[in-house]
Amino acid sequence: FPTRRSSDLFLKLLLKEGTLRNKDFSDLTETPASTTNTTLNRLREAGLVEMVGKQRALTPYGRQIAQGL
């Protein structure tokens, strides 16, 4: 189950890296793939993350939130 901590971490990673694949999140955070997928889906549903091809990126709103973390 994704936590606020993992969501914040994923947002910070995207702010730093620009775009990442799901596997990149799992590798960089040592988070199980199922948790990574759930966290990213929730961030997408909240309007913070969007798909760019097969990668994830911050939306403008997500960038604002990530910069405040």
Identify residue 44 by its one-letter amino acid code.
Answer: R
pLDDT digits (tens, 9 = 90+) for 7-61: 999 999 999 999 999 999 999 988 899 989 999 999 999 999 999 999 999 999 9
Q: Identify which has the larger pLDDT, 1 or 27.
A: 27
pLDDT for the residue 1 = 47
How many angstroms separate the CA atoms of 69 and 11, rounded? 9
The helix (run of H) or strand (run of E) holding residue 63 is: helix 60-67
This prediction's pTM? 0.87
pLDDT digits (tens, 9 = 90+) for 26-38: 999 888 999 899 9
